């Protein structure tokens, strides 16, 4: 077992964004977000370990001393919710109904065992499911701000995004990502779901889109992700049928990625190619 340098959480103000929203950034891993309303403080995702979540709670202690804390899980991936144990019994944890199933699954337990075997920073992780769940949407009235939780599957079956209409801000989670989001499976259904989820978020006409990975606030991220995914069954369909579209051709700016990030996004790209090939094969039948 190795013990790499442990990551830290940093409060990060986002340029041009209302100061009631800020990021809690774990460099090279994930961004959680905080939304301060008149009635409560929402912590969107608890990060990858209880220790990191405790750091996040320390950074917002002044905020939560004056208002109740609510926790929202965008989805049950390890880097987003493995900090849930730090808030267990303290506050409701809100998520999609299927997130509870994912947290309790053998797949989640296998992931935890693998992470613990490679890094002892996961030793305190316990798989804690959301305590308040919904299916399609849920609205949280904060007085000055509304948090509309929207089911946006495709990246995972349980994924939700957060829309704040008063500020025209979308917390996209992993539905949108730069250069591309990962599909749950490399199949036609996942591609169809993710495309529909991106179209839903774009239809809101946000002024700011905040993904959990990438550090951007650019609303055009939704268009770029949609253009790429639709292109796999459109303008690049012949290349997909012929065996694939090289990652460098699809993302010429990928030379700026770290080796680790490049490997991850190449995997995402190959998943999308498989899904597009399945879609094209189905439409040809």
For 17-27, write each residue's pLDDT tens digit.
Answer: 999 999 999 99
pTM, 2 dp: 0.96
CATH code of the domain occupying 10-284: 3.60.15.10
| pLDDT exceeds cutoff 70 at 34 | yes
In contact, 47 and 83? CB cutoff 8 Å:
yes
| pLDDT exceeds cutoff 90 at 254 | no
Pick the closest to residue 149 from 127, 171, 120 (CA basis).
171
Mean pLDDT computed over 95-111: 97
In contact, 251 and 178? CB cutoff 8 Å:
no
| pLDDT exceeds cutoff 70 at 153 | yes
The Cα 162–Cα 168 span in angstroms is 11
In contact, 20 and 8? CB cutoff 8 Å:
no
276 burial level (CB within 10 Å; 0-12, 13-18, 19+): buried
The Cα 71–Cα 84 span in angstroms is 9
pLDDT at residue 89, rounded to an integer: 95
pLDDT at residue 4, rounded to an integer: 62
The Cα 229–Cα 248 span in angstroms is 15
Mean pLDDT computed over 73-86: 98
Tokens of residue 181, six digits: 């989001």
- Number of C-beta neighbours around residue 211 at 10 A: 24
**pLDDT band (50, 70, 90) for residue 228:** very high
Domain ranges (residues) in the chain: 10-284
231 burial level (CB within 10 Å; 0-12, 13-18, 19+): middle
Respond yes or no on whether the N-terminal peptide bond of residue 179 is cis (omega within 30° of 0): yes
pLDDT at residue 256, rounded to an integer: 82
| pLDDT exceeds cutoff 60 at 15 | yes
Mean pLDDT computed over 276-284: 91
Pick the closest to residue 179 from 63, 257, 102 (CA basis).
257
In contact, 21 and 15? CB cutoff 8 Å:
no
| pLDDT exceeds cutoff 90 at 255 | no
Contacts of 138 (CB under 8 A, 6+ apart): 94, 148, 149
pLDDT at residue 283, rounded to an integer: 85
Question: What is the separation of C-alpha 192 from the centre of its chain, rounded to a whole number of angstroms?
Answer: 18
Tell me if residue 246 falls in helix, strand or coil: coil
pLDDT at residue 284, rounded to an integer: 77
Which helix (H) or strand (E) segment holds residue 36: the answer is strand 30-36
Q: Which residues pair with 208 in a beta bridge?
A: 169
Tokens of residue 139, six digits: 């609205």
C-alpha gyration radius of the chain: 19
Pick the closest to residue 279 from 221, 202, 195, 199 (CA basis).
195
List the Cα angle 48/132/64 in 5-degree steps: 65
| pLDDT exceeds cutoff 50 at 1 | no
């Amino acid at each position: 077992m190795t013990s790499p340098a442990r990551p830290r959480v940093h409060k990060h103000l986002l340029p041009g964004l209302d100061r009631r929203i800020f990021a809690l950034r774990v460099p090279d891993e994930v961004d959680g977000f905080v939304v301060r309303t008149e009635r409560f403080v929402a912590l969107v995702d608890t990060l990858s370990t209880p220790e990191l979540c405790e750091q996040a709670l320390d950074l917002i202690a002044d905020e939560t001393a004056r208002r109740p804390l609510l926790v929202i899980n965008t989805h049950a991936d390890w880097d987003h919710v493995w900090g849930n144990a730090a808030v267990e019994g303290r506050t409701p944890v809100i998520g999609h109904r299927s997130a509870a199933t994912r947290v309790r699954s053998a797949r989640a337990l296998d992931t935890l065992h693998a992470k613990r075997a490679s890094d002892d920073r996961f030793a305190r992780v316990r798989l804690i499911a959301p305590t308040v769940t919904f299916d399609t949407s849920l609205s949280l009235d904060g007085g000055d701000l509304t948090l509309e939780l929207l089911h946006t599957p495709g990246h995972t079956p349980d994924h939700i995004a957060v829309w704040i209409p008063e500020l025209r801000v979308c917390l996209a989670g992993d539905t949108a990502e730069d250069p591309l989001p990962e599909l749950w499976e490399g199949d036609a259904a996942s591609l169809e779901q993710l495309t529909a989820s991106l179209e839903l978020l774009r239809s809101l006409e946000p002024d700011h889109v905040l993904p959990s990975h990438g550090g951007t606030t650019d609303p055009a991220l939704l268009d770029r992700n949609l253009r790429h995914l639709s292109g796999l069954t459109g303008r690049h369909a012949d290349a997909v049928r012929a065996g694939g579209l090289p990652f460098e051709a699809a993302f010429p700016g990928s030379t700026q990625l770290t080796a680790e990030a490049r490997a991850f996004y190449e995997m995402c790209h190959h998943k999308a190619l498989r899904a597009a090939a399945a879609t094209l094969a189905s439409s040809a039948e």
